[in-house]
């Protein structure tokens, strides 16, 4: 039998149907991997052994009867500890959230859809406090290490989910992304992640970070993300900003290739970003592979000014909204850097906020017109590879905030576009490098199709992390 923890979700479902192995065998293997990985990387807030095995036994019986519940029946999944999950406290990395005194009887929309499709809920994954930054450490749960080097960061804020997928603790993970939070850890940890078009995956409760925040899949490859998107994109009446129902499947056309696609390659966003030469070289090789596959590649820039100050206005005021009713005791227990951000956000006026929205709308117009000429924009996901865990910025950074080293990700939260990260190489220390693909709003299937073409061509093949 193959290593069950190395199989994709699609392969697991096919194996269940063929009787090659059972959901209980897979759940046990994934739980063993999670338990072994936890001391090394601290990817989990809670490992749900009893829950997962109960889910797996129920799935095994459905498969025995030939009546699977849905597309991912029996597949182990992990859920970021930002999203509600029935029967499990949602602690959000913060001491301010109490486990007791609440029923915890509601699923977030994406979690509810997974439950309807028979998923096996393996564990809750780590997040920085309220998911506020691009690395994963919190006062409550400590720092999450990179699966390739536990002394380095896995990225964030969905770092626990990235580490879980990379180490074989379930092939599917749900993350959130309001400034790069699935793409950053995907790049650092050598996996695939998609930030869908805003509203494509319903979200409830609404994020305090407003329409910057997306729910997205974190998986081994693009095909598994397409499968997961077919599950979690279903409508939910609790999200008033959700898009209309999806017509067809995200897996339809996945193998359509990239021949004839008009691809804009922007290595530095017009000279705005200093990129590590090893990263730049790996991303260029991925772009060359797209050209070899028949895409029409042009090195050009979207003329997108860096919206970092406006992003900070929206982001910091959202953080301040989360904590506005905190007591002095609660504030004292917060991540000190988050406390600084909240204090700055609390000084933001309504006019400041609306001015930032004006900039955001202008960025959206710029990118909308850009995609009239180009089907996809390709950039590095990150200008660097993973640095030391437990700090917000790399050593020697002239700026204190995480946005100083994530200039390729947060602009596309401002514009609400679909964007993914997939591996395209490693640096001299064996740490993963990611390439980002961005498309016009609503073109999620195109992003998945192009990423799948790179996987099929071997462009995303990198060595896996060492043994847990």
Residue 99: predicted pLDDT: 84
Instruction: Using DSSP, state whether 377 is helix, strand or coil.
Output: strand
Q: Provide the mean pLDDT of the chain.
A: 97
10-456, CATH topology level: Amidase signature (AS) enzymes (3.90.1300)
83 vs 175: CA distance, rounded Å: 8
Nearest to 93 by CA among 333, 325, 313, 392: 333
299 vs 89: CA distance, rounded Å: 48
- Break the chain into its structural domains and give their ranges: 10-456
- 172-177/76-80 β-pairing: parallel
Question: Count of CB atoms within 10 A of residue 57's CB?
Answer: 14
Confidence band, pLDDT 50/70/90 cuts, at residue 467: confident
- 214-219/192-195 β-pairing: antiparallel
Using the predicted structure, report yes or no on whether residue 137 has a pLDDT greater than 50.
yes
Residue 2: predicted pLDDT: 65
120 vs 72: CA distance, rounded Å: 9
Residue 1: predicted pLDDT: 45
119 vs 173: CA distance, rounded Å: 11
Tens digit of each residue's pLDDT (9 = 90 or more) over 288-342 = 999 999 999 999 999 999 999 999 999 999 999 999 999 999 999 999 999 999 9
454 vs 423: CA distance, rounded Å: 10
Question: Count of CB atoms within 10 A of residue 294's CB?
Answer: 12
389 vs 151: CA distance, rounded Å: 6
pTM of the model: 0.98
Average pLDDT in the 423-452 region? 98
294 vs 338: CA distance, rounded Å: 46
Average pLDDT in the 74-91 region? 97
Average pLDDT in the 403-408 region? 98
221 vs 451: CA distance, rounded Å: 8
Nearest to 231 by CA among 244, 217, 219, 218: 217
248 vs 449: CA distance, rounded Å: 14
Average pLDDT in the 405-416 region? 98
Tens digit of each residue's pLDDT (9 = 90 or more) over 269-298 = 999 999 999 999 999 999 999 999 999 999
Q: Which residue has the tokens 């182990």?
A: 76
Residue 170 C-alpha from the chain's centroid: 15
- In terms of phi and psi (left: phi > 0; alpha: psi -120 to 50; beta: otherwise), the region of 155 is left
Residue 380, class by beta-carbon neighbours within 10 Å (0-12 exposed, 13-18 middle, 19+ buried)? buried
Cβ proximity of 270 and 434 under 8 Å: no
DSSP 401: S
Nearest to 411 by CA among 241, 261, 278, 269: 269
The beta strand positions in 131-242, using DSSP E, are 137-138, 142-143, 172-177, 192-195, 214-219
B/e letters for 235-259, b = 16+ CB within 10 Å, e = fewer, are ebeebeebbeeeeeebbeebeebbe
164 vs 39: CA distance, rounded Å: 12
- The maximal CA–CA distance of the chain, rounded, in angstroms, is 62
First to last CA, the chain: 20
Residue 318: predicted pLDDT: 96
442 vs 418: CA distance, rounded Å: 7
Residue 103: predicted pLDDT: 85
Question: Count of CB atoms within 10 A of residue 181's CB?
Answer: 38
Q: Indicate the helix (H) or strand (E) that contains 46.
A: strand 44-47
Which sequence positions are flagged as catalytic? 80, 157, 181
């Amino acid at each position: 039998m193959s290593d069950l923890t190395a199989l994709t979700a699609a392969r697991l479902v096919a194996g269940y149907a063929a009787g090659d192995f059972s959901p209980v065998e897979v759940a046990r293997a994934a739980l063993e991997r999670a338990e072994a990985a936890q001391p090394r990387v601290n990817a989990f807030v809670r490992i749900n052994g009893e829950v997962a095995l109960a889910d797996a036994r129920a799935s095994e019986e459905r498969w025995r009867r030939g009546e699977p519940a849905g597309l991912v029946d029996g597949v182990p999944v992990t859920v970021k500890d930002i999203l509600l999950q029935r029967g499990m406290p949602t602690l959000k990395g913060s001491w301010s959230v109490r486990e007791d005194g609440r029923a915890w009887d509601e699923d977030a929309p994406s979690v509810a859809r997974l439950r309807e499709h028979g998923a096996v809920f393996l564990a809750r994954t780590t997040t920085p406090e309220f998911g506020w930054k691009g690395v994963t450490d919190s006062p409550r749960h400590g720092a999450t290490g990179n699966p390739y080097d536990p002394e380095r960061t896995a990225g964030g804020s969905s770092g626990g989910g990235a580490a879980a997928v990379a180490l074989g603790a379930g092939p599917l993970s749900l993350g959130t992304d309001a400034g790069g939070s699935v793409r950053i850890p995907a790049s650092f940890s050598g996996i695939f992640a998609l930030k869908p078009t805003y509203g494509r995956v319903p979200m409830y409760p609404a994020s305090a970070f407003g329409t910057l925040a997306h729910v997205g899949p974190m998986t081994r490859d693009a095909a598994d993300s397409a499968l997961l998107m077919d599950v979690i994109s279903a409508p939910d009446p609790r999200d008033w900003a959700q898009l209309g129902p999806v017509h067809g499947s995200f897996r339809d056309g996945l193998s359509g290739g990239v021949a004839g696609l008009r691809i804009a390659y922007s290595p530095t966003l017009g000279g705005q970003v200093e990129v590590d030469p090893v990263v730049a070289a790996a991303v260029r090789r991925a772009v060359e592979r797209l050209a070899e596959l028949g895409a029409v590649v042009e090195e050009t820039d979207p003329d997108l000014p860096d919206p970092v100050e406006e992003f900070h206005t929206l982001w910091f005021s959202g953080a301040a909204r989360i904590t506005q009713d905190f007591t002095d005791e609660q504030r004292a227990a917060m991540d000190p850097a988050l406390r600084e951000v909240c204090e700055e956000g609390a000084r933001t006026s309504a006019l400041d906020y609306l001015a930032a929205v004006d900039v955001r709308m202008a960025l959206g117009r710029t990118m909308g017109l850009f995609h009239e000429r180009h089907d996809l924009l390709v950039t590095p996901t990150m200008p660097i590879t993973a640095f030391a865990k437990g700090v917000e910025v790399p050593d020697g950074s002239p700026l204190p905030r995480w946005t100083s080293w994530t200039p390729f990700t947060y602009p596309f939260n401002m514009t609400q576009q679909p964007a993914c990260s997939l591996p395209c190489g490693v640096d001299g220390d064996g740490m993963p490098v990611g390439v980002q693909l961005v498309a016009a709003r609503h073109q999620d299937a195109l992003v998945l199709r192009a990423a799948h073409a790179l996987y099929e061509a071997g462009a995303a093949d990198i060595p896996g992390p060492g043994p847990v």
